[in-house]
């Protein structure tokens, strides 16, 4: 693979269930991010990781957790899904957390519906 | 608070020029990004500005005025494939991207 992949592509989930969204990149990027995108709103950062072994909270972290055991993988877990977590979730990565012109590369997204 | 403002929707004609404006208010500033997002797809990088002025890249150009907290994306010789949402995002003092809601650009023949 080349780039960043996400799984599943889409999922319908009953409220209260636990769900893990997977994200893998093969670009050896230090930084990784999880966003949600809702109609009429900008991308909102859920959690991020500046390097393997570290994570941080973004703008909307409640109800979500992440881990970064290695450089390539950055799973996002919903411990007990609620309908307000219905959204499109994008994983992204960048070469360095120190910004500059380091663009973020996005995965194809996961469309999650919580009923 | 931090805020990015851009128009919700714009319409333009194939072959014409369109300018999409973005104003930002962030705690610190480390640059301004523009991304393109086609419906149902992921955002893809278009441009990055950190210094005042115009950056040209083919049919697309991006302008930044740091003193005014203002940027625009200029698209020339519009093609039907340019129909997409255009996302403005500012990099704050913590090097986190603050995203606008996006401008949906509709191109008519």
Residue A45, pLDDT above cutoff 60: yes
Q: In DSSP terms, which residues pair with A20 in a beta bridge?
A: A77
Q: Around Cβ B68, how many Cβ atoms within 10 Å?
A: 10
3-state secondary structure at position B82: helix
Residue A90, pLDDT above cutoff 80: yes
Q: Pick the residue with more confidence: A28 or A100?
A: A28
Taking the CA atoms of A58, A14, A4 and B47 in sequence, report the sign of the dihedral they define: negative
> Touching check for A104 and chain B: CB below 8 Å?
yes
Q: What was the pLDDT predicted at A41?
A: 86
Residue A101, pLDDT above cutoff 80: no
Q: A81 to each of A14, A15, A20, A37, A64, how far by Cα in Å?
A: 7, 5, 10, 17, 9
- pLDDT tens track for B78-100: 999 999 999 999 998 888 899 99
CA A112 to chain centre: 12
Residue B1, pLDDT above cutoff 80: no
> Touching check for B39 and chain A: CB below 8 Å?
no
> Touching check for B86 and chain A: CB below 8 Å?
no
pLDDT band at residue B2 using 50, 70 and 90 as cut-offs: confident
CB contacts < 8 A, A to B, total 49
3-state secondary structure at position B28: coil
Q: What was the pLDDT predicted at B80?
A: 97
Average pLDDT, chain B: 95
Report the pLDDT averaged over residues A13-38: 96
Q: Which residues of A fall within a CB distance of 8 Å from B33?
A: 103
Q: Which residues of A fall within a CB distance of 8 Å from B91?
A: 99
Q: What was the pLDDT predicted at A100?
A: 62
pLDDT band at residue A99 using 50, 70 and 90 as cut-offs: low
Is there a contact between A106 and B96 if contact means CB atoms under 8 Å apart?
no
Report the pLDDT averaged over residues A89-114: 87
Q: What was the pLDDT predicted at B60?
A: 97
Mutate: best of B99, B102, B104, partner A, most A CBs <10 A: B99
3-state secondary structure at position B81: helix
Residue B11, pLDDT above cutoff 90: yes
Mutate: best of A4, A36, A43, A89, partner B, most B CBs <10 A: A43
């Amino acid at each position: 693979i080349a780039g960043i992949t996400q799984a599943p592509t889409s999922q319908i989930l009953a409220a209260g269930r636990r769900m893990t969204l997977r994200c893998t990149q093969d670009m050896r990027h230090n930084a990784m991010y999880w966003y949600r995108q809702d109609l009429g709103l900008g991308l909102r950062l859920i959690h991020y990781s500046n390097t393997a072994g570290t994570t941080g909270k973004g703008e909307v972290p409640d109800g979500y957790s992440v881990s970064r055991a290695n450089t390539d993988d950055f799973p996002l877990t919903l411990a007990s899904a609620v309908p307000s977590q219905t959204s499109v979730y994008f994983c992204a990565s960048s070469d360095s957390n120190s910004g500059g012109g380091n663009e973020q590369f996005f995965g194809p997204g996961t469309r999650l519906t919580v009923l | 608070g931090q805020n990015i403002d851009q128009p919700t929707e714009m319409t333009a004609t194939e072959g014409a020029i369109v300018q999409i404006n973005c104003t930002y208010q962030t705690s610190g500033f480390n640059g301004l990004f523009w991304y393109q997002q086609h419906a149902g797809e992921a955002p893809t990088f278009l441009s990055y500005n950190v210094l005042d002025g115009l950056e040209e890249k083919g049919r697309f150009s991006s302008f930044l005025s740091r003193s005014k907290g203002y940027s625009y994306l200029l698209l020339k010789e519009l093609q039907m494939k340019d129909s997409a949402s255009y996302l403005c995002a500012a990099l704050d003092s913590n090097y986190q991207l603050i995203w606008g809601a996006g401008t949906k650009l509709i191109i008519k023949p």
